[in-house]
Amino acid sequence: MPRPIKKILIANRGEIAVRVMRACRELGIKTVAIYSDADRAALHVRTADEAYPVGPPPARESYLDIGKVLDAAKKSGADAIHPGYGFLSEKAEFARACDKAGVIFIGPPADAIDAMGDKTRARQKMMSAGVPVVPGDNGPSGRGFPSAEAALESAKKIGLPVMLKASAGGGGKGMRLVDDEKKFIAAYQGAQREAKSAFGDDAVYLEKAVIRPRHIEIQVFADTHGNVVHFFERDCSIQRRHQKVIEEAPSPAVAPELRAKMGAVAVKAAAAVNYVGAGTCEFLLSEDGNFYFLEMNTRLQVEHPVTEMITQRDLVRLQIAVANGEKLPFAQDDLKVHGAAIECRIYAEDPIKFLPSPGKIVQYRQPTGPYVRDDSGIYEGSEISVFYDPMISKLITWGATRAEAIERMERALMEYRVGGIKTNLAFHRRVLREPDFRSGKYSTAYIEGHKELLAKPIALDEDDDALDAALAAAALHALEGGVQPTAGNGAAATATAATERSAWQRSSRF
C-alpha cells in the first residue's frame, strides 16, 4: 500500500487549479500552487495553502517547464502532482519525470499516454482490440505514405471525401478535408508541411470523412487493480474552430442501448492500453447511427462537471483515490444517469469576431441558486491575460430533464454579469433558445449552420444593456399597478427594489 497523499502540487492555473484544490480541501490534503509572473494575484494562488513562482508569463518558460515544476514540488514537499488539463497533462515525458523524482503523477501511466498520443499507433491498437475506428489507411509503413501519389491511390479506394490527419496531431490540428481528387496532392503536401512544423513529424494518414457527425465522448475511469468503468457520454458537438462552446450529458442523440454499447467499447479501449485514472474516448457518431473511435484524451477534461452532475460522483476525488492505489468504490452497475446537465463555456472574447478580449474584470456577478455551478478561475478585480486561455468560467446547470436544465441555464445566463471586458454571454443566450439546439437535433456543423447566432445583437433583449432596460421596465410597470415582472422576480416589484436593481445594473455597464 503506498502512503496516502498528504500534499498535492497543482501544475496548472485558472478554474481547473481551483477545482482540484476544492477536492483537496475536502479531503484534508494540503495544496501547492505554482504561478507565472502574470499570475501573482490569480485566484488559484489565493486558493492554495502555499505558492511557488515558476517564471515569466509565457507558458513555455513557466507552466510547461518540467524542471521548474518539479523544483517547486521538491521545495514544497508535495507527494503528488495534479496536472489539470492542457499544459503538461498529456506529456508522457512529464509523467516519467515525476516517477523519477519520486512524486506521484495524478494521471495515467506514461506508456498509456504514449500509446494514445500517436494517432496512427492508437488506431492500430484500437483495431486490434476490436474497437471500431473510422475506415481509413495509416499507410504501408503504418505511419504515413511514401508519396502523395501513393496516398491518392489509397484515397480513391476509400472514396472521397477523405480527411487528412497528422499522426502526431489530435484535436483537429493539421486536419484537412479533401472532396476533389484534383486537390488531393496539394492538400496532402500542405498537411505534411503543417504537421512537420507543428509537431516535428510529417506523418499523415487518411480517414473516410464522416459528414455532419456528432462529437460524442465517453468518460472512463480505471484503477490500478484492473477495474475499468465508464461514466456515460457527453455531447460536445457545439464547437467553433475545434473550440468546444457548449457540452451536455446525456447526449440527446444517444438512446440507452447505444449508450451501453459505446460505454463498453470505451472500456475496452482503455483496458487495451492498461489505462489508469480518468480518461475520455472521443467518438464520431454518424447520421446513420454508426460510431467510430477517434482518439483518447488521457487527462481530466474541461467538461468533466456535466458528467459529475449526472452521475453524482466527484471525478477529482476519484483521481486522487486511484492515485493512492485505492480500488474504485463502485461497479459499473452502481452508476446511473440522473437527469441532464449542460455546460456553457464563458469566454472573454469579442462576441462577433470570437477574438480574445483580455483585460481587467471590473465587475463580476456569478450566477447561483439551485442546481447551478459556476467553476471560475477569476474574481472581481482580476485580469484576463493575453498569455493564457481566455475562459472566464464554466457555467453548469442540472435538471431532472434536459428541458429543465436548459430553462435553468437560461435563468443562470440572465443572472451572469461581467464588466470591463467582452464576453460570449449573449451568444450563449441566443443558442439556448434556438430551436435546433432546444430540440437536440444538432451536429458539429451547428454553429456554421447558424450564422445568425454570431450576428450583432438586434432584438431588444439580446444584449446585457437591453436586457437590463427590459427588466427595469418590467419592474416599473409592475410598480405602476401593472402585471408582475415576467422575469419572475417578485421582489423587484417594489419601489426600492426596482430602483436599486436598475442602479446596480447601470453600474455593471462599461
Q: For residue 456, how many other CB atoms are within 10 A of its CB? A: 9
> Which of 40, 193, 225, 242 touches ligand MV4 (CB under 6 A)?
242
With beta carbons less than 8 A apart as the criterion, state whether 107 and 94 touch.
no
* CA within 13 Å, CB half, 164: 30
Q: Decide if residue 351 touches ligand MV4 (CB under 6 A).
A: no
Q: Which amino acid is at 340?
A: A
Say whether 299 is catalytic.
yes
Min. distance of Cβ 261 from ligand MV4 in angstroms? 19
CA nearest neighbour of 138 among 115, 112, 158: 158
Rounded to whole angstroms, the Cα distance separating 231 from 236 reads 15
Min. distance of Cβ 345 from ligand MV4 in angstroms? 14
Min. distance of Cβ 174 from ligand MV4 in angstroms? 10
Measured from the CB atom, is 172 or 289 closer to ligand MV4? 172
Min. distance of Cβ 158 from ligand MV4 in angstroms? 10
Q: Decide if residue 216 touches ligand MV4 (CB under 6 A).
A: no
> Which of 213, 263, 367, 399 touches ligand MV4 (CB under 6 A)?
213
Cell (9 digits) for 324: 493512492
Identify the residue whose cell numbers are 459499473.
332
> Which of 36, 167, 385, 444 touches ligand MV4 (CB under 6 A)?
444
Rounded to whole angstroms, the Cα distance separating 442 from 402 reads 15
Q: Which of 143, 299, 373, 417 is catalytic?
A: 299
> Which of 10, 64, 276, 294 touches ligand MV4 (CB under 6 A)?
294
Q: Decide if residue 209 touches ligand MV4 (CB under 6 A).
A: yes
With beta carbons less than 8 A apart as the criterion, state whether 70 and 101 touch.
yes
What does the per-residue mask of binding to ligand MV4 show for 456-495, with x meaning CB under 6 A? ----------------------------------------
User: Which segment (97-105, 191-199, 205-213, 303-311) binds ligand MV4 by CB under 6 A?
Assistant: 205-213
Rounded to whole angstroms, the Cα distance separating 360 from 353 reads 20
User: Which segment (57-65, 104-112, 168-176, 464-472) binds ligand MV4 by CB under 6 A?
Assistant: 168-176
Instruction: Write the DSSP symbol of residue 487.
Output: T
Q: How far is CA 453 from CA 354, 357, 431, 437, 459, in A?
A: 12, 19, 7, 12, 12
Site for ligand MV4 in 98-137 (CB under 6 A): 134
> Which of 16, 81, 92, 210 touches ligand MV4 (CB under 6 A)?
210
| β 7-10/80-82 pair status | parallel
Identify the residue whose cell numbers are 462552446.
245
Supply the residues annotated as catalytic: 299
Residues that bind ligand MV4 (CB under 6 A): 134, 163, 171-172, 175, 207-210, 213, 215, 239, 242, 282, 284, 294-295, 444
